[in-house]
Structure 1
Amino acid sequence: MSALSDRPGLGILFIIFGVTAISVNDMLIKLLSGAYPLHEIVAVRAGVGLVITLMLVQVEGGFRLLRTTTPMLHVARGLMVVLANMTFYAAFAVLSLAQVTALFFVAPLFITLLSIPFLGEKVGPLRIGAVLVGFLGVLVMQQPWKDELETSRAVLLLPVIAAFFYAVLQVMTRRLGLTTRASAMAVYLQATFLIVAFCFWLVAGDGRYADRVESDALRFLLRPWVWPDPRDLLVLLCLGTLSGFVGYALSSAYRLAAAATIAPFEYVGLPLAILWGWLIFGEWPGPSVWAGCALIVGAGLFVFLREQRRHAPAPGRRRLWGRR
């Protein structure tokens, strides 16, 4: 593994910044979910994000960086992130911010497991055990032992499905990151969002299907386009700005460090989601969500500590600056 692709400290900084920006992004989308269709929000966000990522491409070396020898792999990666976003944000119309985020945090566990067969990364039995504890935390939050829930099982599964698509996306990022700059990968993602949002507008932009569905999650996807209120337009522009930097930050994180090292730091999003839910929406998690969060965060911290210990220098040897 080259020095460029094995810089865990920098990768961790990128993932923390990216997850914090995602948390703010999620809060803003939930704020807008009652008035605008998801594909309209995505279209504006992706348009602004594309401008920002193209600027980052220029900074990193120019438009020549957009040339690729693996176009289909980039297309597949773009579709994974679109599917992850659509299933994740559709749940916002029904579930609380903390609950959606908590259920989604099975993603780092999926990433750790997928890094074994697809990336050849070594994950020992103790870390595998920690991953299982994390899955138990997700199970506690979904409460499968209850016969009746306030929301349908299908809606509760949406964030978990999104987590799987996201995990596949990040494993693909790790593979592509050996030959493709983070800014170029971010451009491809924003372009994919724009294309998919445009297709949604062509098919359902007039809202013809919105009244035919009962689910609030589906209505969020199929609601007709409307001209944004000036105050909401500012929020949409903020979303686009965040989106441009999020794509770059996440791509950089998984280029610079092993997936099993980076993945646990995505748990920073859990307390942030609880904070926004409490401050903005007056939501407070129930006991099952708190218990699940404790299991997931505990599992993530254990995985991180094991990773740090594995890379620690042997006793009696000096660790040279910039070398592993």
Structure 2
Amino acid sequence: MKTVACIVQDGFAPFEFGVACEAFGLDRTDDGVPNFDFRVVTAVPGKVVSKVGFSINVDDDLSFAYEADLVVVCPIPREWWGATDPRVLDVVRDAAARGAWLLSVCSGSFVLAEAGVLDGRRATTHWKYADEMIAMFPRIDVDPEVLFVQDGRTITSAGTAAGLDACLHLLRQEIGAELTNRVARRMVVPPQRDGGQAQFIDRPLPVAQSDALLTVTEWAMGNLRDELTVDQLASRAHMSPRTFARRFKAEHGATPAAWLSRQRIVRAQRLLERSDLGLDEIATECGFGSAAVLRQNFARVLGTTPTAYRAKFACARSESSV
């Protein structure tokens, strides 16, 4: 992926627009991160007004988007859902047809839906708008409880900050876990959040992880090679297994087992990038036990093999650690 087009229209949301600029538009070559040819585009170049009153001046029309490796679609105002500029819809359809990456942030998924590229596929949007998307586009399998969905080379994200999760997810596939961690570190955000929108629906947001769980997760991260059970983790937190599992999911949005599986995958990615260890050694180090189990988990989570992943991203191990 070398070229990125970010489509904005009148009424765009500044934060979601900023997410795309932050993820793909900044020069981070000093951190060893490849630079993208990033351009903001619109149907009619000139002033584009945000939904909070200020405007930006966009010089490029949609021509660049027809050749971009990634097309990012920012949200549009609710009153325009189902009435998107046909020129934008043509760009979206073209990107899908030629196999380019498509990524929508928040309600930008309504643009993809109107273009028809989500028909018969799984997608998401902000949980507040999920029912409306289901009603407007019944051919889409809408999942309102996840932070983002990847279906092929199309990624739809949930509300606001979930767009950043989606961008980092895409970067992991294009530049690897190690370099994506550097991007996340510069942003001062976690490289990967567990869980989904269910954490945020009609419930207060937890302010911070409890000390008991923080101690346990830090210990687990240092002992991923061992067989870890909920009973063991609960014991270290001085809780019953049932209470521990309930509190863990409430704070992390995932079960302890799902969280451990994800941490092991991330650890394996980094070892594949930064070491010459064999697959059996990496599987042991990450707690998968065997190369066969490692391969199964890679295929399930990342849609690729450890060998293919290493072939694509092994150069990252020559960079200095973060």
TM-score normalised by the chain length of structure 2: 0.25
Higher strand fraction: Structure 1 or Structure 2? 2
Which structure has more RCO (C-alpha within 8 Å, separation ≥ 6)? Answer: 1
Higher helix fraction: Structure 1 or Structure 2? 1
TM-score normalised by the chain length of structure 1: 0.25
